[in-house]
Structure 1
Amino acid sequence: MVHQYKNNGYDIVLDVNSGAIHVVDDVTYDVIEMIDQSQPESYARDEIVSALSGKYGKEEVEEAIDEVQTLIDEESLFTKDTYENYIMDFKKRPTVVKALCLHIAHDCNLACQYCFAEEGEYHGRRALMSFEVGKKALDFLIANSGNRRNLEVDFFGGEPLMNWQVVKDLVAYGREQEKLHDKNFRFTLTTNGVLLNDEIMEFCNKEMANVVLSIDGRKEVHDKMRPFRKGAGSYDLIVPKFQKFAESRHQDKYYVRGTFTHYNPDFAADVLHLADLGFKQISVEPVVAEPSEPYAITEEDLPQLFEEYDKLAAEMVRRHKEGDDFNFFHFMIDLEGGPCVAKRLSGCGSGTEYLAVTPWGDFYPCHQFVGNEKFLLGNVDEGIKNTEIRDEFKCCNVYAKEKCRKCFARFYCSGGCAANAYNFSGDICGAYDIGCELQKKRIECAIMIKAAEADCE
């Protein structure tokens, strides 16, 4: 499979199966476009020369065809898919758990309009995780991690800082267990910043490998969607704290993470606002919501959102040339290394390698499934009991998803989010179409930025 597109003055050709990316001139681009992907080896040279010579000249077209043939011979263009045969029976793989999302608090001090957790309640009751439940969760992770040494634990909510003492106690317990079991815990934290203070920052800088700081961008955008329960905005309170925190972490190992909605389709302005506030690690992502919600992204929004991604990518190229870089999470792409083949095919590992834990100790495939009893996997006392659901997640990969098989982005998004697929199609092997379209656009922009950076070298 070959995917071609033009972006910011670059003609880009992606050979999906090999991962090879070619930045070409117009004539080569048009030559490749004329080759039938179903049988590239039998293209008609004379027909291509005849069709394009009036536009470019015969000699130039023939030279381009020779270059294309060289790429085909080198197996970096129109290559065959060898990964489908690589797929083992994922259901037979031993389950090794490597990461937990601890819902340390099913409660929140904000009332964000788009919150999938219903202001922290997750379709249930408000609750704080006890140290005992958290301890059992860490014990489960250690016991089910096999030979894997590096383990990940994310303190999540609601708002984790509403249960800060238990966070600290669980980190201390984890550090003790590292020595006993030859494991290494990588702790992370997601917070809205309301309760953030110097003591918490100091602890996080010592113990948290990454911190996610929730802010949506411009003041008017943020305060509309992330107010306190009585309606006041939270922007003015959190921005100085987040700026101080980012600097204390040397502008590394954190993200300011926002959400854009139907209300702010000009979201590139929010990303650039955060960059202008001094943040270097930025993630602003599309809301995922029921179509009936007034803030939900619609198909009609897509053209403007595509333009915004293009605008943002071009501005990042410009700032890179001026030495004023920042990272945008959705444009970060590793074209030379990146995830292993299994990870590219099967995604985040939700339901198998990665689990969410409720305050009372129930296991779910990830935080977005919490509260949906169909996906209740077990608990910290009994372990995984619902092995049918676990096995269903094991078999969830890009070749199990019909739409992924035909998509150029499949080895970059790894099939996308299982929760979004289920919520919009009723099947974890389905698709969330709007999310897919946005993902494909982000990948195109990310590759273009790499091409532009190569031009600067």
Structure 2
Amino acid sequence: MIHQYKNNGYNIVMDVNSGSVHIVDDVVYDVIPLAEQLVSGGIRDVDTVTAAVEACQKLTYSHDEVREAVEEILELAQDNVLFTEDIYEKYIGNFKQRQTVVKALCLHIAHDCNLACQYCFAEEGEYHGRRALMSFEVGKKALDFLVANSGSRVNLEVDFFGGEPLMNWQVVKDLVAYGRSLEEPHNKKFRFTLTTNGVLLNDEIMEFLNKEMSNVVLSIDGRKEVHDRMRPFRGGQGSYDLIVPKFQKLAESRHQTNYYVRGTFTHNNLDFSEDVKHLADLGFEQISVEPVVTDPKEPYALRPEDVPQLLEEYDKLAVELLKRQKEGRGVNFFHFMIDLSGGPCVAKRLSGCGSGTEYLAVTPWGDFYPCHQFVGNEKFLMGNVDEGIVRPDIVDEFKCCNVYAKEKCRSCFAKFYCSGGCAANSYNCHGKIDDVYELGCELQKKRVECAIMIKAALADEEE
């Protein structure tokens, strides 16, 4: 499968199955789609392919130019970096049968929040239910479950989530200490992370975070007017002025690594590239600003007619971030971070985040769900910390959720980068986990294209 596109002056050709990316001239770019069927079918004779391409009468290049392009294309095909076969689908049966272990938990340490964010899927921390704080005993049982169900895996991940986790700070500290006590006797290593809105951040908390948290996610939407509109206190006053200095201090104290500021853009700020630039200008070097996913009837929901502008925003942002990178003031934008030489293992490329199998969310009272976005939906209640997993059928359903189980993914060039997208978004859009959220797909494909263009441009400059 080949995907071709032009971006920021570059002719980019992706060989989807091998992961190879090629920057080519106009002649090769135009000849590739005309030669694809022949070369993919095994015809590798230069004269035969050249004659067939010229017979299409779609090109204005000379015979020598076409022949030279065909030679280059055939060489790439011979090296198995163009027109390669899909080697993954035939293994998907075995992939479904593989033994999975739990490697990560999202601990809902607090179903409560001190902000009233308009787009919050957690309903200000309530998650379709009652406000509650996780007790140490429930959290302790969750960590015990993780250790007991992680098999021989050494590295385990625990994210303290909410609501607002800092509203249950003592339990966070106690659970970190308990997790550390489990490491040596069980040959495990915990990687703790925490997501916070920053309202309760202080020096003591920052010191603990820097000592114990491998990553910290800081929620801020961008420009003051954008942030305060969507992330106010319950009394309506904005939170921007309170949290920005704290976030700046924390980012600096972590040497601008192992954190990221995480924003959400909505229909109210379709020019979200300006919010990314604003966050960069505030000094943040690790940035994620992501599209809102919500009920389409909400006034701030993204709409199909917004997509053209959003795609343009990603292109604008890519050019801006590339410019900053060349000027020595680059930032890492989460959705433009892509590894073309290694990247995730095959299992992750095919099935994504591992929700419902390797990754589970735990409510304050100890119930298990496939991930935080399913919490409160009783259809996906999988078990609890006392009984373990009592719905293995849900595990099996998520285990079978992969790029080959989704018809819309099979012919998509981005499938090995997004791994089929978010199961929760699919369920909320179509009522099933093995479909896709189409608006999100369009944005994801553009992000992949922009990320590869940036890589290409930086590589081109090095040559």
Q: TM-score, normalised by structure 1?
A: 0.98
Alignment-derived partner of residue 32 in structure 1: 32
Change beyond 3 A, Cα 1:117–1:37: farther
Structure 2 letter corresponding to 1:136: K
Please give the per-residue CA displacement for 1:51-89, whole angstroms capped at 9, x wherever unaligned.
Answer: 568633221121111111111121111111111012244
Which of 404, 417, 422 is residue 417 of structure 1 equivalent to? 422
Structure 1 residue ranges without an equivalent (≥5) = none
Asked if 1 retains the 8 angstrom alpha-carbon contact of 2:36 and 2:83, the reply is: no
Which of 357, 379, 385 is residue 380 of structure 1 equivalent to? 385
Please give the per-residue CA displacement for 1:389-426, whole angstroms capped at 9, x wherever unaligned.
Answer: 11100111111111111111111111111100111011
Taking the aligned partners of 2:239 and 2:73, their CA distance within structure 1 comes to 55
Asked if 2 retains the 8 angstrom alpha-carbon contact of 1:53 and 1:61, the reply is: no
Taking the aligned partners of 1:114 and 1:95, their CA distance within structure 2 comes to 34
Taking the aligned partners of 1:417 and 1:110, their CA distance within structure 2 comes to 26
In the TM superposition, 1:181-196 aligns within 5 A as 181-196=186-201
Please give the per-residue CA displacement for 1:244-291, whole angstroms capped at 9, x wherever unaligned.
Answer: 000000000000000000110100000000000000000000000111
Alignment-derived partner of residue 457 in structure 2: 452
Alignment-derived partner of residue 333 in structure 1: 338
Which of 63, 66, 74 is residue 69 of structure 1 equivalent to? 74
Please tell me whether residue 171 in structure 1 is matched to residue 195 in structure 2: no
Asked if 1 retains the 8 angstrom alpha-carbon contact of 2:349 and 2:418, the reply is: yes
Asked if 1 retains the 8 angstrom alpha-carbon contact of 2:39 and 2:74, the reply is: no
Please tell me whether residue 8 in structure 1 is matched to residue 11 in structure 2: no
In the TM superposition, 1:202-217 aligns within 5 A as 202-217=207-222
Change beyond 3 A, Cα 1:355–1:159: same
In the TM superposition, 1:19-168 aligns within 5 A as 19-37=19-37, 40-41=40-41, 44-51=49-56, 55-168=60-173
Structure 2 letter corresponding to 1:213: L
Please give the per-residue CA displacement for 1:232-251, whole angstroms capped at 9, x wherever unaligned.
Answer: 01000000000000000000
Taking the aligned partners of 1:60 and 1:52, their CA distance within structure 2 comes to 14
Alignment-derived partner of residue 353 in structure 2: 348
Taking the aligned partners of 1:242 and 1:191, their CA distance within structure 2 comes to 10
Secondary structure of the structure 2 residue equivalent to 1:388: helix
Change beyond 3 A, Cα 1:334–1:120: same
Asked if 2 retains the 8 angstrom alpha-carbon contact of 1:52 and 1:61, the reply is: no
Taking the aligned partners of 2:49 and 2:106, their CA distance within structure 1 comes to 55
Taking the aligned partners of 1:38 and 1:64, their CA distance within structure 2 comes to 15
Please tell me whether residue 253 in structure 1 is matched to residue 289 in structure 2: no
Asked if 2 retains the 8 angstrom alpha-carbon contact of 1:49 and 1:62, the reply is: no
Please give the per-residue CA displacement for 1:420-454, whole angstroms capped at 9, x wherever unaligned.
Answer: 01110111111100011100000000000000110
My pick for the range that moved more, 54-63 or 203-212, is 54-63
Alignment-derived partner of residue 201 in structure 1: 206
Tell me how many residue pairs correspond in the alignment: 457
Structure 1 letter corresponding to 2:161: F
* CA drift at 1:38: 8.5
RMSD (Å), alpha carbons? 1.3
Change beyond 3 A, Cα 1:61–1:86: same
Structure 2 letter corresponding to 1:387: P
Secondary structure of the structure 2 residue equivalent to 1:35: helix
Please tell me whether residue 365 in structure 1 is matched to residue 370 in structure 2: yes
Secondary structure of the structure 2 residue equivalent to 1:120: coil
Taking the aligned partners of 1:245 and 1:451, their CA distance within structure 2 comes to 33
Structure 2 letter corresponding to 1:448: M
Taking the aligned partners of 2:35 and 2:302, their CA distance within structure 1 comes to 36
Change beyond 3 A, Cα 1:292–1:53: closer
Secondary structure of the structure 1 residue equivalent to 2:29: helix
Change beyond 3 A, Cα 1:380–1:53: closer
Please give the per-residue CA displacement for 1:326-364, whole angstroms capped at 9, x wherever unaligned.
Answer: 000000001011111111111110001000000000000
Give the % identical residues: 76
Taking the aligned partners of 1:362 and 1:53, their CA distance within structure 2 comes to 62
My pick for the range that moved more, 18-27 or 79-88, is 79-88
Asked if 1 retains the 8 angstrom alpha-carbon contact of 2:95 and 2:347, the reply is: no
Which of 415, 427, 442 is residue 432 of structure 2 equivalent to? 427
Taking the aligned partners of 1:15 and 1:287, their CA distance within structure 2 comes to 31
Structure 2 letter corresponding to 1:57: S
Change beyond 3 A, Cα 1:26–1:394: same
Alignment-derived partner of residue 395 in structure 1: 400
Change beyond 3 A, Cα 1:39–1:235: same
Secondary structure of the structure 2 residue equivalent to 1:76: coil
Q: TM-score, normalised by structure 2?
A: 0.97
* CA drift at 1:93: 2.4
Asked if 2 retains the 8 angstrom alpha-carbon contact of 1:364 and 1:370, the reply is: yes
Runs of 4+ that moved beyond 4 A: 36-39, 50-54
Secondary structure of the structure 1 residue equivalent to 2:35: coil
Taking the aligned partners of 1:134 and 1:37, their CA distance within structure 2 comes to 57
Structure 1 letter corresponding to 2:401: C
In the TM superposition, 1:272-351 aligns within 5 A as 272-351=277-356
Taking the aligned partners of 1:283 and 1:131, their CA distance within structure 2 comes to 31
Structure 1 letter corresponding to 2:6: K
Taking the aligned partners of 2:403 and 2:9, their CA distance within structure 1 comes to 31
* CA drift at 1:94: 2.2
Taking the aligned partners of 1:90 and 1:107, their CA distance within structure 2 comes to 39
Taking the aligned partners of 1:321 and 1:403, their CA distance within structure 2 comes to 37
Change beyond 3 A, Cα 1:52–1:312: farther
